[in-house]
Structure 1
């Protein structure tokens, strides 16, 4: 008779936070797998999680579009709704942080020993397994490309006239808001500098980033591709995995690239790198804070957007070249 156990994981609700929670989810999964070799893992969350999950390096984890009944459930969102959904599904061993009037819905209600406002989000999520006595062997994000994903990304690049060995990806947008976006003109300057050295830019982003991407790529004399709004999340991840470098704002794609070991350059200003910087050896964070940094606001109301304009295009270009060097 096999020792079966069903584990339910509910990651955070933003792509970047879901990636930062990967070490914690990995620790929980491996702990239960040692105890239950036939462990089943269901991962519930927003629709984009179905595309992201194969990259999170959680063996045998399956995406679930509904909250299922499991033997153990770990909640990373702090909302009352997530705990209520879990209880309604019939779960009886629910672990998560207390707060938002949900303590009575949790079987293991953990105190907030760390704060998202002051500590790194990765450590905040890791404190969930930490407080429950689960061993943590991996504190950095370590993602893994699914079989064939890099090859698919390379094929897409070739289909658009790009040489995969020369492709650098750029993501000039950010879902949180414009305050943490590097200026479009700065991205364009960096693109021209990289293109003059023979690198081929590829823009990723949402449909609303399409026009920005077109302006950034305007006038380049090397092959380039504005893929903003043209890919699914899964296809965007394939392109990142197949590229040589990622230049982007503080965003979910930044955490994905760094977690895959792709050279990653990110300017920070409105957000705090001490709280949301990506982990990885091939990461360069540029932070030249203004008096108002980090404001943590969606929109900048200070003339000149100083936290970002303090970072010159040359600083970004030099950082790119330092990681692109043989």
Structure 2
């Protein structure tokens, strides 16, 4: 048994994909901690990963902006580049799926047994661990709120004149593209209907979502906060943890909310819930596919965005109220 083993986890490149890889990363970390007296676990990736990591429930894991010369690395991205970077950094054993002309760079090339065109992405990530002899449990995502995270979220809500016991988070954007997005006038109808029932909307998103958020909240008859573009990722996560509901598109924040056990309502259209639905006990997925669904395109090319038009605002409103009132 070695004195210390340095395990490197290279997560996927999008927030939602990182959350879907959480069960696999947790299983790998647990395995190496069990088999090495001292195991240092490092996650390396995009800068926002540092803010997300405390929520990923991977005991003892640390963030690094640069790839360390680790003993073992698990690569969740499928690119040649990440394998080459690990090789150059001096990683001793590199494990990842074959393909992208990178098999010669991998110490252990793993074959593809799960087809992400039909199967869930969580299973694809878990199979990387399973094919290297690691025992995994369920594919359930289990995130955790860092110390003081909930308190900080509630305090921020109260600072903006809102009641945390009546606050609902709304995320009308999606980084991948507009094809995933429910129409803003539909979000407006739902949010206003919920406000009439005494619920107070908090809009989350990027700076580019701010104008849409303003249009959604225009004329709202309850306390509200347009936080789009105002929060760091860590602050947005705190606000989600302190909310009573998340209403959102298929997005990274959807996966976070569901993984935290926050009641989550999400319309799907361009993407397939069989492949990317969130993991959680309190999830309502609305999917009324059009003939072109799931197109997996960034932007809709069909007049009227039929996959989203098939989901009336009243249906979304009812799903939210069912979550909030039970």
Give TM-score, length-normalised by structure 1.
0.99
Q: Report the secondary structure of 2:137's partner residue.
A: coil
Distance 1:118 1:93 in 2: 30
Q: Report the secondary structure of 1:63's partner residue.
A: strand
Q: CA deviation at 1:221?
A: 1.2
2:111 matched residue in structure 1: 111
2:192 matched residue in structure 1: 192
Distance 1:103 1:148 in 2: 44
Q: CA deviation at 1:117?
A: 1.6
2:148 matched residue in structure 1: 148
Q: Deviations over 1:153-191 (max 9, x none)?
A: 000000000000000000000000000100000000001
1:48 matched residue in structure 2: 48
8 Å contact kept, 1:27–1:138 = no
Q: CA deviation at 1:123?
A: 0.5
Q: CA deviation at 1:140?
A: 0.7
2:310 matched residue in structure 1: 310
Distance 2:91 2:158 in 1: 48
2:8 matched residue in structure 1: 8
Moved over 2 A (4+): none
Distance 1:37 1:12 in 2: 28
Q: CA deviation at 1:37?
A: 3.6
Q: CA deviation at 1:289?
A: 0.2
Q: CA deviation at 1:71?
A: 1.1
1:209 matched residue in structure 2: 209
Distance 1:8 1:180 in 2: 33
Distance 2:10 2:106 in 1: 14
2:240 matched residue in structure 1: 240
Q: Deviations over 1:20-77 (max 9, x none)?
A: 0000000000000111142100100001101100000001100000011111110000
8 Å contact kept, 1:150–1:238 = yes
Q: CA deviation at 1:2?
A: 7.3
8 Å contact kept, 1:27–1:136 = yes
Q: Deviations over 1:234-272 (max 9, x none)?
A: 000000000000000000000000000000000000000
Distance 2:163 2:149 in 1: 17
Q: CA deviation at 1:325?
A: 1.1
Distance 2:320 2:130 in 1: 36
| Aligned residue pairs, count | 326
Specify every segment of 5 or more residues in structure 2 that has no aligned partner in the other structure, as ranges.
none
Specify every segment of 5 or more residues in structure 1 that has no aligned partner in the other structure, as ranges.
none
Q: CA deviation at 1:138?
A: 3.5
Q: Report the secondary structure of 2:255's partner residue.
A: helix
Distance 1:139 1:117 in 2: 18
1:20 matched residue in structure 2: 20
8 Å contact kept, 1:153–1:235 = yes
1:30 matched residue in structure 2: 30
Matched, 1:169 2:169: yes
Distance 1:171 1:89 in 2: 38
Distance 1:207 1:256 in 2: 20
8 Å contact kept, 1:28–1:129 = yes
Q: Report the secondary structure of 1:270's partner residue.
A: coil
